[in-house]
Amino acid sequence: MYEQISHSLLNDILTQFKQPKGEDWQHFYTRLGANFYAIHSLFQHLYGQRADFKEQLGKLVNVLAQQYAQRAPHLRAKDLEREKNHDWFMQQKWVGMALYCQGFAGNLASMRERLPYLQELGINLVHIMPLCDCPELQNDGGYAVRDFRKVDARNGTMEDLEQLIAAMQQSDMLLTLDVVVNHTSDEHEWALKAKQGDQQYQDYYYMYPDRTLPDMFEAAMPEVFPEQAPGSFTLNPDTGKWVMTVFNHYQWDLNYSNPAVFIEMVDIVLFWANKGVDILRLDAVAFLWKKIGSSCQNEREAHLILQLLKDCCQVTAPGVIFIAEAIVAPTEIIKYFGEDAINAKECEIAYNATFMALLWDAVATKQTVLLTKGVEDLPEKLDRATWLNYVRCHDDIGLGFSDKAIIEAGFDPVSHRRFLVDYYTGRYPESNARGFAFGVNKKTGDARISGALASLAGLETALDYQDQSAIENAMMTIILLHNLIMSFGGIPLIYYGDAVGTLNNDSYLQDENKMHDNRWVHRPTLDWEVMALRNQPGTIQQRLFSQIKQLIAIRKEISAFADLNNRELITLENPHLFAFHRFVQTGMHSKVVVVANFDTSPQSVPLQSFRQKGLFKGAVLTELYSGQQIIPESDFLTIPKLTAYWLST
Ligand code: GLC
């Protein structure tokens, strides 16, 4: 949009700006012109009260230009290509895996040698968890960054990463890396300067001389790690000041009410964009703005910061997109795509934490009432926005679905959540699950769940007892969950190790730095001899791997699985079944009905439930995963136990 005030300001800024000679800057200027009104308005809203507002805005534009100057020709070409094909990340061809480089391969150099494994499975998007330099011990699995521009020596070098990126680009694989935007390690250069008393850097954080303001903040702030890091402030002995530390006491929260912090972060985001990263996962975005009297999560300004970050990134590196890591209430998560817009204007991708938690509910209850209700309640997504659908990740499972949905599903929220924690920690009599309670808050009674997918699905217990039918059920549960993240709509993100049924690993208990954080139980170091069993017929690894591989291959052929807001839920009379319809106008398999049975017995449903929606008109149905033809008997469709069908109509 053209508007005089911002336009004349931009002219002032550009007059002082020395454009590097001999380069084609046309695209930079068109994008800056298109986004500057929004950039100026947001910056003004956030920082307009400051005397140095104009100077700060000038610095921001300068960062965008400097980073554009650094952007390699092949990345600029990719930007143009993605501008033309702007739905590129919504296609069903993408299937992701999240992994720790060290746990998966050892380091970045050996990661390159493992790319064939990923390709064998069909993975073409890889999220490598935090790689940056961090303290040896207190690092929260890399989420306490000491240097945002340096690769941690345990992972290798920047050259190793560059070689990996080049190899991935050659194979048409996308790379996702984290930018930990909310906090730094207390050993980051900014924190070290703040500790030395440098006011400029103390202003990068929230530091207070006494408990007055910290007490006021804490009165309304929930604790993120109530067991291992209670409270939200830590006394820094060097300065005698209280520093805001929402996560662990060594993770200092950055203060985004200071524009210098925002500008530093834009520079870091673009630094990684210029390394050739396709997707940036912005960590803990719900926490970006703190306000006394609020929970300090999901504040409006946190959204404005993200919009500004997006607008800035679009000027310099529009081919790069963002994932919002916001594990918050269902109605809040969706806002990280942006509100009051048609296209996503904050992050293009968000973790579908609601769907993930609902799937685990269905596994425990063997019923789909809450799953159906919870999905029904999910607000419609914006265009050019998609979910990351996942079953497990490196974090705990939070039971984040709404109380309203639980009540409507016929349960009491407190006792239902308690049941789920009991179920997954194996305390419930009929449960084979072997997980651990995480983040138990004695004051509120809240708890989350840690544990590897296979152990939560009951495989570990079943193997211990050599109970063949329980082994079958656990394996079928693992496949059922993967089936649904492939078909629901969005990018499926498999967690490393899950495709071969990796179990819990309690070796973290020997490590003093990890023993208090049981999320490490599901952050394995893969044993490649065990991984090799995926090629040995009859092994658990081979049976799981081959089925997941097949799911991936078939997903990629089903055009209806592209995520174009093309899903309709089908409510069935049978409480064990969950069903939805996916459709597109054209393409191979443009109409597919997914029906999943979470019960341990076969379940039937009258065909009429589908026919009244204009589906299943023919006498024969084709199940796309197995290629099987299904002729429903006496007008009923029967789904085997713990199975999901992809039915083409
Ligand atoms: C995110 C990460 C989690 C980490 C936290 C603090 O939620 O996924 O692992 O502990 O941020 O950085």
Q: Which two tokens stand for residue 220?
A: 């309304």
Question: Does 325 contact ligand 1 (Cβ within 6 A)?
Answer: yes
Under 8 Å between Cβ of 178 and 283: yes
Q: Whose CA is nearest to atom 3 of ligand 1?
A: 395
Average model confidence (pLDDT) across the chain? 95
Give me the mean pLDDT over the 294-316 stretch. 98
Question: Does 395 contact ligand 1 (Cβ within 6 A)?
Answer: yes
Give me the mean pLDDT over the 114-126 stretch. 98
Q: Whose CA is nearest to atom 7 of ligand 1?
A: 284
Backbone Cα Rg of the chain:
25
Give me the mean pLDDT over the 26-31 stretch. 94
Residues catalogued as catalytic: 283, 325
Percent of the residues in the chain that have a pLDDT greater than 70, as a whole number: 99
For residues 408 and 269, what is the distance between their CA atoms, to the nearest angstrom? 42
Mutate-to-test residue for ligand 1 from 188, 244, 283, 351, highest number of ligand atoms within 8 A of CB: 283
Q: Where are the alpha helices (DSSP H) in 71-127?
A: 73-84, 101-104, 108-113, 115-121
Contacts of 218 (CB under 8 A, 6+ apart): 231, 232, 233
Q: Whose CA is nearest to atom 11 of ligand 1?
A: 284
List C-alpha distances in Å: 423 to 132, 431, 542.
Answer: 37, 6, 28
Give me the mean pLDDT over the 302-307 stretch. 98
What confidence score (pLDDT) does residue 519 get? 98
- CB atoms inside a 10 Å sphere around CB 197: 11
What confidence score (pLDDT) does residue 72 get? 96
Model confidence at 90, in pLDDT bands (50, 70, 90)? Answer: very high
What confidence score (pLDDT) does residue 21 get? 65
Among 45-49, 169-173, 342-346, which stretch is predicted with the lowest mean pLDDT?
Answer: 342-346
3-state secondary structure of 193: helix
Give me the mean pLDDT over the 583-597 stretch. 91
Task: Of 223, 233, 243, give the one whose Cα is nearest residue 297.
Answer: 223
Task: Of 438, 459, 457, give the one whose Cα is nearest residue 449.
Answer: 438
Among 2-6, 98-102, 286-290, 493-497, which stretch is predicted with the lowest mean pLDDT?
Answer: 2-6
List C-alpha distances in Å: 634 to 222, 325, 597.
Answer: 55, 47, 19
List C-alpha distances in Å: 117 to 124, 169, 191, 230.
Answer: 11, 16, 40, 41
Strand partners, 606: 636
For residues 563 and 573, what is the distance between their CA atoms, to the nearest angstrom? 27
Q: Whose CA is nearest to atom 4 of ligand 1?
A: 143
Give me the mean pLDDT over the 299-314 stretch. 98
In terms of DSSP bridges, do strands 386-390 and 349-351 run parallel, antiparallel, or are they unpaired?
Answer: parallel
Q: Is residue 601 over pLDDT 80?
A: yes
At 129, phi and psi to the nearest 5? -65, 170
For residues 22 and 171, what is the distance between their CA atoms, to the nearest angstrom? 32
What confidence score (pLDDT) does residue 20 get? 67
Atom in ligand 1 nearest the alpha carbon of residue 182: 12
CA of 186 to the centre of ligand 1 (A): 16
Question: Does 284 contact ligand 1 (Cβ within 6 A)?
Answer: yes
Identify the residue with better confidence: 237 or 16. Answer: 237
CA of 395 to the centre of ligand 1 (A): 7
Atom in ligand 1 nearest the alpha carbon of residue 247: 6
Q: Is residue 143 over pLDDT 90?
A: yes
CA of 237 to the centre of ligand 1 (A): 25
Mutate-to-test residue for ligand 1 from 224, 395, 508, highest number of ligand atoms within 8 A of CB: 395
Task: Of 489, 454, 492, give the one whose Cα is nearest residue 474.
Answer: 454
Q: Is residue 442 over pLDDT 90?
A: no
3-state secondary structure of 87: coil
CA of 438 to the centre of ligand 1 (A): 14
Model confidence at 191, in pLDDT bands (50, 70, 90)? Answer: very high
Strand partners, 238: none
Contacts of 319 (CB under 8 A, 6+ apart): 75, 78, 79, 80, 81, 82, 83, 278
Model confidence at 55, in pLDDT bands (50, 70, 90)? Answer: very high
Give me the mean pLDDT over the 362-385 stretch. 94
CA of 302 to the centre of ligand 1 (A): 17
Task: Of 596, 94, 643, 600, give the one whose Cα is nearest residue 375.
Answer: 596
CA of 351 to the centre of ligand 1 (A): 13
pTM of the predicted structure, to 2 decimals: 0.97
List C-alpha distances in Å: 45 to 49, 284, 305, 344, 580.
Answer: 8, 22, 10, 20, 42
CA of 644 to the centre of ligand 1 (A): 32
Give me the mean pLDDT over the 153-181 stretch. 98
Q: Whose CA is nearest to atom 9 of ligand 1?
A: 395
- Please report, in angstroms and rounded to a whole number, the separation of the first and last CA atoms in the chain: 46
Task: Of 450, 445, 441, 436, give the one whose Cα is nearest residue 415.
Answer: 445
Identify the residue with better confidence: 451 or 19. Answer: 451
Mutate-to-test residue for ligand 1 from 132, 134, 139, 140, highest number of ligand atoms within 8 A of CB: 140
Among 361-375, 433-447, 455-469, 550-564, which stretch is predicted with the lowest mean pLDDT?
Answer: 433-447
Q: Is residue 282 over pLDDT 90?
A: yes
Question: Does 247 contact ligand 1 (Cβ within 6 A)?
Answer: yes
Atom in ligand 1 nearest the alpha carbon of residue 183: 12
Question: Does 143 contact ligand 1 (Cβ within 6 A)?
Answer: yes
Percent of the residues in the chain that have a pLDDT greater than 90, as a whole number: 90
What confidence score (pLDDT) does residue 532 get? 98
DSSP class of 288: S
Question: Does 140 contact ligand 1 (Cβ within 6 A)?
Answer: yes
In terms of Cβ atoms closer than 10 Å to its own Cβ (0-12, 13-18, 19+), residue 17 is exposed
Tens digit of each residue's pLDDT (9 = 90 or more) over 239-250: 999 999 999 999
Under 8 Å between Cβ of 437 and 461: no
Among 88-102, 335-349, 525-539, which stretch is predicted with the lowest mean pLDDT?
Answer: 335-349
CA of 355 to the centre of ligand 1 (A): 19
Q: Whose CA is nearest to atom 12 of ligand 1?
A: 143
Give me the mean pLDDT over the 290-318 stretch. 98
Task: Of 158, 156, 180, 176, give the one whose Cα is nearest residue 168.
Answer: 176
CA of 221 to the centre of ligand 1 (A): 17
What confidence score (pLDDT) does residue 541 get? 98
Containing 332, the helix (H) or strand (E) segment is helix 330-333
Atom in ligand 1 nearest the alpha carbon of residue 519: 9
Q: Whose CA is nearest to atom 8 of ligand 1?
A: 395
Atom in ligand 1 nearest the alpha carbon of residue 180: 12
Question: Does 283 contact ligand 1 (Cβ within 6 A)?
Answer: yes
For residues 205 and 604, what is the distance between their CA atoms, to the nearest angstrom? 58
For residues 640 and 649, what is the distance between their CA atoms, to the nearest angstrom? 19
What confidence score (pLDDT) does residue 141 get? 96
For residues 487 and 624, what is the distance between their CA atoms, to the nearest angstrom? 12
For residues 351 and 76, what is the distance between their CA atoms, to the nearest angstrom? 28
- CB atoms inside a 10 Å sphere around CB 231: 15
Angle between helices 26-47 and 4-15 (to 10 degrees): 120
Angle between helices 4-15 and 53-70 (to 10 degrees): 60
